[in-house]
Amino acid sequence: DVLLQEVHHRVKNNMAIIASFLDLQSLQLDDDILVNMLQETRQRIRVMALVHEKLYQSNNLREIYLESYISKLVRDLVSINNKNDLLIDLQFDFDEIFLGMSTLIPVGLIVNELVTNVVKHAFDSIEHPVLSVKCKQIENNCILLIIKDNGIGAVKGKDDFQKSLGIQIVEALVKQLHGEIEINSDQGTEVRIEFLKKG
C-alpha cells in the first residue's frame, strides 16, 4: 500500500511538472490561439493528476468517492475559466458511488470538457447562471452523469458545438466507457451520459 501511494504521488508530481512546462511555453507565445490550446492541454493533464492525488490521499487505493473528485474538479474549472467573475450557482446531486482509476480518468476528462465549455460560452447575458452536475446509480450497474446549464450553451451555433474538438473528445471518451451520450438544448444545454460501472 505504501509503495502504491508513493507511485501515485510521483505520477501526480510528474504530471504537475509537465503542466508547468506548458505554462512556461505559453509565456513564450504571442499567438492567443496557441496559448489557449496549451492551456487546455495543461488542464487535461491536471484532471488526470487529480485522480492520482486523490488516490495518494485515500486509504482506498483502488477506488475514489466520485462526488469528492468531481465537485473539486468542477469548482477548480469554474475558478480557472470564469474570466468575467460570474456568480455561478453550482448544484451537485450524487449517489454514493466509488470508481476505479480506469473509469474515473475518462469521466474526469469528460467533465473537464463539458464544464469548461459551459463556463466559457454558456452564460453570456444570463442574469442568474446555474450549472448542475448529477451522478446517479441506475439499474444494471450503470451510472448516469448529467451536466446541465441554463445558458445559451449549444443553442447558438449548435453545429459548431457538435463539431468542436471538446465534444469530439467527449464522444471518444464515452465510446471508451462503452457508454451513450445525449445532448438536449431546448432550455439551456443538458448532456446525459450513461456508462457501465467497472473497476
pLDDT digits (tens, 9 = 90+) for 102-120: 898 899 999 999 999 899 8
Q: Which of 13-22, 50-59, 122-131, 186-195 has the lowest mean pLDDT?
A: 50-59
* 160, three cell numbers: 459548431
Q: Is the pLDDT of residue 61 over 70?
A: no
